[in-house]
Chain A
Amino acid sequence: MLEWSSAGPAVGAAFLASIVEVVEAFTIVLVVATLRGWKPAVLGTGAAVFVLAAIVVILGPLLDQVPMHLLQVVIGVLLLLFGIGWLRKASLRAGGVIPLHDEDAVFARETIELRTQVKRHRSSQDWIAGIAAFKAVLLEGLEVIFIVIAVGSGREVLWAASLGALAACVLVLVVGAIAHRPLARVPENTLKFGIGVMLSAFGVFWTGEGLGVDWPGHDLALFVFAAVFLVAGLMAARMVRQPIKKAAS
């Protein structure tokens, strides 16, 4: 029986994080399709999905061999590194220290870059474009796989987390196919802030549990940690916004 207090946060984190990653991959695939047509874009994407599936099939069963406490500590520490890194960047963006992520700007930049590369290799233009799509989908896909494993394996809700990620992929592809342009309206910066909060909360939870902490409230402690990280992230953004305002005036 699926416990929603365990599966809910995992599904939510996997869904939201996957939306961000798939939107980023979609932008590059769209650049390839716009410049060289859908054939290299689809071939590159298909090859990357195949490699990702092979990684899951080969490495997935190995997870069952790792003792649960060790798995929780390793994944928890990786989540802390990944999650706090995201939250740090999101706070800096929210505080105006670094520019906000703009999918339209990424699309324009990648278009120029791919156009330059294609011009340089006149004999293998589709190949270069296909490789660009392959790399983008592979790299963003690896992040999705890590997040799904990280939020799902500690409580054995891997399937639920995978469904969350799959739902995000389907949603982005459907909206992307209809819009046929970079999905710049997706509130990526806000989503990244939220994902940083959730991954950091999972990181503290799994690391502590793996080291032997019996958190009060068990899985519900995740919500408390998320609230603490959310407040901390917002306060950090506010803290750095003040000096910048003073410097500007």
Chain B
Amino acid sequence: MNILKDVLSELFSMFVADARLTMAILLIVVITAFMIRSTNLSPLIGGLFLLLGCIAVLFFSVSREATRRLHDSRH
């Protein structure tokens, strides 16, 4: 049972290493899907939003983690 628990927790952490990062990426995908399926915008604009949104999420996530660790190391 321990092995199964370890495997499941490893699988979970593969995709949810950081809860905020996961939520942000899912939100970007949902907004992209809405833009493509429910508006008259070209699907390519939705695609570009997806790409740029993921880049922005990466920057915010890296910056936030660095700030948090810097703050922790000072206290």
Question: Mask for A228-246, Cβ within 8 A of B = 1, else 0?
Answer: 1100110111011001100
By beta carbon, the residue of chain A nearest B53 is A204
Residues of B within 8 A of A204 (CB): 47, 50-51, 54
Q: Is the CB of B70 within 8 A of A247?
A: yes
A244 to B68, CA, bound (A): 12
Contact B50 A208 (CB under 8 A): yes
Total contacting residues, chain A, CB less than 8 A = 47
Measured in the bound complex, the distance between the Cα atoms of B59 and A169 in whole Å is 33
Closest chain B residue to A242 by CB distance?
A: B66
10 other contacts beyond A84-B25, A208-B32, A228-B51, with CB at 8 A cut-off? Answer: A78-B15, A81-B25, A84-B21, A131-B3, A135-B7, A139-B6, A204-B47, A204-B50, A215-B44, A228-B55
| B residues with CB within 8 A of A | 3, 6-7, 10-11, 14-18, 21-22, 25-26, 29, 32-33, 36-37, 43-44, 46-47, 50-51, 54-55, 57-59, 61-63, 65-67, 69-70, 73-74
* Residues of A participating in the B interface, judged by any CB pair closer than 8 Å: 77-78, 80-82, 84-85, 87-89, 91-92, 95, 97-98, 131, 134-135, 138-139, 142-143, 146, 200, 203-204, 207-208, 211-216, 225, 228-229, 232-233, 235-237, 239-240, 243-244, 247
